[in-house]
């Protein structure tokens, strides 16, 4: 009614009135539709059983050994043969096999073992009836380590050791194990002699020996003898002055 009086007062035509009324109703209808679409939809909740209420739950332990075995098998299958060989070689590495890293005593023992190895035919040699000369050697080392052993049967061979005509050991019983002693050299020539005192039970008097410079570990000589009783094996070592070159040279 108020709206009709407003139109009459301002002399607004009926067409405009109807158009305005229609637009007003349309706007109200659209807003009502939007509000109805924005309404939330209720979603019914599902009934889920509480796992804590289940008395029959069983927890099985993890089998670590089986998993480890499967992993190791997978790794082995993925490695090529060359890679596996390379890994094996690295595992076999050992510093003990490197001669450069060994101490002098170990090197001395290795050299001595190689020096005293003899061929099988050397066991069958007959005893020498004359003195045997093993050579002449030059050195700057005043002290020489001598090692000797019976390379044949351990049958009671005995020797006497001479240096420059003087007995330094009157009786040495040879055994299969090495026996060692140290020589002290004089300036110039030093004549060393091994005299066979007997031939043991299987004869002749047999021995293998080696001579090393004590200060450096260098080997001057290694040899062996097969001597009849009373025969000597001899070698000469020349002690050089320190200002002369080359140790261990053989003339």
Give pLDDT, residue 128.
78
* Positive/negative CA dihedral, 134, 136, 141, 142: positive
Extents of the domains making up the chain:
2-30, 126-239
d(Cα 233, Cα 188) in Å, to the nearest integer?
20
Q: Which one has a higher pLDDT value, 149 or 34?
A: 149
CATH number of 126-239: 2.60.40
Please report the pLDDT score of residue 141 as a whole number.
Answer: 95
pLDDT over 70 (residue 40)? no
pLDDT at residue 205 greater than cutoff 90? yes
Taking the whole predicted model, whether its pTM rises above 0.75 is answered as no
Task: Decide which of 136 and 58 is more confident.
Answer: 136
Q: Strand (E) positions, the chain?
A: 132-139, 143-149, 158-163, 166-173, 179-184, 188-196, 205-213, 219-227, 232-239
Pair type for strands 232-239 and 132-139: parallel
Q: Which residues pair with 196 in a beta bridge?
A: 159
pLDDT band at 62 (very low <50, low <70, confident <90, very high): low
> Average pLDDT, stretch 214-222?
94
Going by C-alpha positions, the residue among 127, 109, 154 that lies closest to residue 229 is 127
């Amino acid at each position: 009614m108020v709206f009709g009086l407003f139109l009459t007062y301002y002399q607004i035509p009926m067409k405009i009135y109807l158009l305005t009324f229609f637009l007003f109703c349309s706007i109200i209808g659209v807003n009502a539709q939007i509000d109805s679409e924005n309404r939330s939809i209720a979603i019914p909740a599902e009934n889920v059983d509480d796992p804590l209420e289940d008395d029959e739950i069983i927890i099985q332990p993890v089998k670590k050994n089986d998993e480890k075995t499967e992993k190791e098998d997978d790794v082995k299958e993925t490695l090529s043969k060359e890679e596996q060989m390379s890994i094996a070689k690295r595992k076999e590495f050992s510093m003990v096999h490197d001669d450069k890293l060994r101490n002098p005593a170990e090197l001395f023992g290795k050299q001595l073992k190689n020096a005293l190895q003899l061929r099988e035919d050397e066991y069958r040699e007959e005893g020498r009836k004359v003195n045997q000369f093993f050579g002449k050697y030059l050195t700057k080392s005043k002290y020489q380590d001598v090692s000797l052993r019976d390379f044949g049967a351990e049958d009671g061979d005995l020797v006497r050791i001479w240096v420059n005509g003087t007995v330094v050991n009157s009786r040495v019983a040879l055994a299969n194990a090495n026996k060692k002693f140290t020589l002290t050299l004089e300036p110039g020539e030093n004549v060393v002699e091994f005299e066979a005192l007997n031939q043991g039970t299987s004869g002749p008097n047999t021995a293998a020996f080696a001579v090393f410079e004590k200060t450096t570990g260098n080997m001057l000589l290694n040899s062996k003898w097969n001597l009849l009783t009373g025969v000597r094996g001899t070698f000469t070592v020349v002690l050089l002055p320190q200002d002369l070159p080359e140790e261990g040279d053989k003339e």
